[in-house]
Amino acid sequence: MGAWCVGADGTDPPTHSASGETVAGVILAAGFSRRFGPFNKLLLPVDGEPMVRRVAATALEAGLDPVVVVTGHQADAVWTALEGLPVAFVHNPASQTGLASSLGAGIRALPDAVAGAAVLLADMPRVTSATVRAVAEALAPAQGRTVSVPVCDERRGNPVAWSRAHFAEILALEGDRGARDLLDRHAAGVIEVPVDDAGVLRDVDTLQEWEAEGSVSVDGGETDRAD
């Protein structure tokens, strides 16, 4: 599976790990949004733009380089939602098999030069670019910090950044569990990054959760913002 690019060159300076190496971004945007009925939640608006576009813009603002978006369900519509942004795309035709295949597709598409990758979930639109940058910059493989994870209110959240040392294990994952098991396996290399950002804990899994994040409901009515 190859990656292809769309959009112009970004203007934000690249984010580097604590060791001075480039950190990429992988956005998982291949899901089926089964709890949303006929709607693809990643295309629904949050603050006037598609949810997936908001997440991609955050990754770019954080200086991740490159930013790779993994598509699956309604790939063409996701592409259109991200038109004009300097991101790369890789399609996962096996996205129905679970999160692991999409994560692997994104990691496999990264250039050899990157030292690590922050993995962003396209249904977490409230994570700030400052948080993403802090998580990426906390990686320091030479000092044994090979995984970095944000912590808010004593709870771990997303995105998680992984050094290249773990890429082979990520590629070997199967099913819908993602890389969470690897956090336990490599606990000694995990650095927790304290953040004042509740967005790291908030994903959008239901229409009610989306209506709390967005400005309009699916039937056109006004909703109150949760924040």
Question: Which secondary-structure segment (H or E) carries 171?
Answer: helix 167-171
User: What are the extents of the domains in the chain?
Assistant: 3-213
Nearest-angstrom CA–CA distance, 96 and 184: 26
The contacts of residue 227 (CB under 8 Å, 6+ apart) are: 126, 198
In order along its 227 residues, the chain shows pLDDT tens digits of 445 444 334 445 666 665 567 999 999 999 765 555 666 889 988 888 999 999 999 999 999 999 999 999 899 999 999 999 999 999 999 988 889 999 999 999 999 999 999 999 999 999 999 999 999 999 999 899 999 999 999 999 999 999 999 999 999 999 887 788 899 999 999 999 999 999 999 887 666 767 776 544 333 333 322 22
Three-state secondary structure of 34-73: HHHCCCCHHHCEECCEEHHHHHHHHHHHCCCCCEEEEEEC
pTM of the model: 0.85
Query: Topology of domain 3-213, per CATH?
Result: Spore Coat Polysaccharide Biosynthesis Protein SpsA; Chain A (3.90.550)
